[in-house]
Chains A and B, each alone.
Chain A
Amino acid sequence: MFSRAYRTAITLPPLLWVTVFLLVPYLLMFCYSFWSVSPSQAILHTWTLDNYQQLRHVDVYWQTLLRSMWIAARVTVFSLLLGYPLAYFLSFYAGKRKDLFYQLVIIPLWVSYLVRAYAWKTILGSDGVLNTLLQYVHLTRHPLEFLLYSPFAVVLTLTHIYTPFTFLPVYASLEHIPRNLVEASHDLGASPAQTFWRVVFPLSIPGVLAGATFAFVLSLGDFLAPLLLGGPSGIMISNIVVSLFGAAYNWPLGAAISFCMLVLVVSLLFVSERLEKKWSFA
């Protein structure tokens, strides 16, 4: 029904834009990762594998990547532990107040990420709200130092930020479960626990996978929360990239790390999409 001219008019502009501002930059990142920096700090456009060699042989990159993945994994698990039961409660038990609760989960998303991370900093610091509160009620005498500038602070803050993101897809998948399946399970004599584990949970797995992917990928690449709250022990892989693009001035090496992250993220998306398909019965 649509003419060729119409289809060209809607396709060409976004296609061109996306090519210039998304595809070319990703390819350029790939190219950069094979270039190098001269002693006079100019980018040398000659091809070399040096950057990838460095990544293989210098331990700190690997260790930081693994630590970032470990932090991201904890964020994912905690976000699910907070988000899943919340979504389940809303979908199956909240009744008329469902919409209200839903809005309440969404509203924090409208507060800037940076501002919420900053708020946690004012809560966790040694003169922060939490430490002074604990001393005020005489639970502790000295400020608890591990609260801020630690991986703990990073995990806590990122969990705070990604819990609503995990909640959303889980909630959507729970809402799509036909209620008569649940009733049938009850009628056939299954206990509530059996109904949950054998009917509800398997049907919600695509939502869980989507939420987990979100939380994992976005927290893996974060560099602001570690800079603000992480301290030396909370450094993540993106922090290394930031310093390579800044003071350390080695863009090609930074590009190599970013490109590895890009590949990692895209493969994770691919795997999670496959698994989601496998688990969706609809």
Chain B
Amino acid sequence: MELCLSGANHHSKRAGWLLGHALLVFAFLYLPIVVLIVYSFNGAGVGGFPPRDLTLDWYRTLLADGAIWESVVNSLLVAAAAVVIALGLGIPAALALDRAQFPGKVLFRRLVLLPLILPGIITGLSLLMLFNEGKVKLSLLTIILGHGTALISVATTEVFAGLQKFDRAQEEASLDLGATYWQTFLRITLPNLKLSIVGAALLIFTLSMDEIAVSFFLIGRDNTLPLEIWGRLRRGITPEINAISTIIFVFSLAAIVLWYRLRLGTEGSPETAAELIEPAVQGAQS
């Protein structure tokens, strides 16, 4: 009995320490985000404790700031195009890795996944050299090609993970019953992969909206939002940047919640939105 008690004591003491550590880590992870949001309302600038002169002025400045909104539109455009490219190539790539044998398959798999783990500077620079040799002028198009190419990795890992989950017998049945490959793909394969594809699209869109290391080298005259912010950071900073970041954070959270709802609605099991990131993280290691 005594042994048992001391065991339980140990257990709770350990749990206590671990909980304390966990709370500290969360404080560390959330401190910058909280500061960012609080100071977006701070009339007196980006620093200074305590925050004073709470105001919505920075949001007003932001609303009237044409250059920022232009860059937001550019970023949305780039992200949408990157989703199309990455999915358009990532879905067939995942299918190919799943069910085709061809020479160089191992190399192909590694190449596709490499941008996930490679520092963005290497992807960005190697593409810059390609465009330079090909005499392609840098513009939003080169950024789109860069994002699309780098994010095929995300589409491939998500869709590949989805393929492992669904029942192949359905495809076989469809083919046996006389459907063509194309019909089977449209009516059986794609609907079964719907969640993986929507999840991948969401992830690719967000990653592209945030991307800066690759864009940094492929930028032409038009800025994306992160590059516009980057340019301003180097010139001196105002809470306007906090304001736009806060707005984007709210939108990202809304996207996560939306995805979560979608998932709940279709699968009926409370799976976490985080599962979305897991295949990507694990894909990078395999």
Contacts and interface: CB of A to CB of B under 8 A. Distances in A.
A152 B245 CA distance: 25
A258 B125 contact: yes
B172 A119 contact: no
A264 to B, nearest CB: 11
Interface stretch (B47-55, B66-74, B76-84): B47-55
Given A99-B270, A132-B48, A136-B49, A111 B249 contact: yes
A171 to B, nearest CB: 9
Interface string A4-17: 01110111011101
Contacts of A242: 121, 216
Contact of A11 (B96, B216, B229): B96
Contacts of B245: 111-112, 115, 118-119
A13 B152 CA distance: 12
Nearest to B125: A258
Interface string B84-121: 00001110110110011010100010011011011111
Given A115-B229, A123-B31, A160-B32, A9 B92 contact: yes
Interface string A70-114: 000000000000110110111001000001011111111111111
Contacts of B199: none
B181 A5 contact: yes
B90 to A, nearest CB: 7
A164 to B, nearest CB: 7
Interface in A100-145: 101-116, 118-123, 125, 127-129, 131-133, 136
A103 B273 contact: yes
Given A122-B46, A242-B121, A24 B21 contact: no
A191 B255 CA distance: 45
Given A29-B126, A107-B253, A221-B119, A10 B100 contact: yes
A1 B175 contact: yes
Contacts of A6: 181
Contacts of A202: none
A236 B176 CA distance: 59
A241 to B, nearest CB: 6
Given A1-B172, A82-B25, A111-B252, A106 B120 contact: no
A114 B47 CA distance: 18
B136 to A, nearest CB: 12
Interface stretch (A46-54, A57-65, A211-219): A211-219
A107 B46 CA distance: 23
Contact of B252 (A25, A110, A165, A262): A110
A18 B108 contact: yes
A235 interface: no
A173 to B, nearest CB: 10
Contacts of B209: 112
A106 B48 contact: no
A11 B130 contact: no
Interface in B109-162: 111-112, 114-115, 117-122, 125-130, 132-133, 145, 149, 152
B100 A2 contact: yes
B281 interface: yes
A18 B148 CA distance: 11
A128 B255 CA distance: 32
B188 interface: no
Interface string A230-247: 000000001001100100
A11 B125 contact: no
A228 B100 contact: no
B89 A86 contact: no
A263 to B, nearest CB: 11
B100 A7 contact: yes
B241 interface: yes
A169 interface: yes
Contacts of A213: 117, 285
28 contacts: A2-B100, A9-B92, A14-B96, A18-B152, A21-B130, A21-B145, A21-B149, A22-B114, A28-B133, A29-B125, A85-B22, A104-B29, A113-B210, A114-B226, A114-B229, A115-B241, A120-B32, A121-B237, A127-B45, A160-B29, A168-B277, A192-B14, A214-B281, A217-B118, A251-B129, A251-B132, A258-B126, A265-B119
Given A1-B171, A258-B122, 13 more contacts: A10-B96, A15-B104, A22-B149, A111-B252, A115-B248, A118-B36, A119-B32, A169-B282, A213-B285, A223-B121, A242-B216, A255-B129, A258-B125
Q: Which 4 A-B pairs have the closest CB atoms?
A: A221-B119, A25-B126, A119-B32, A14-B93
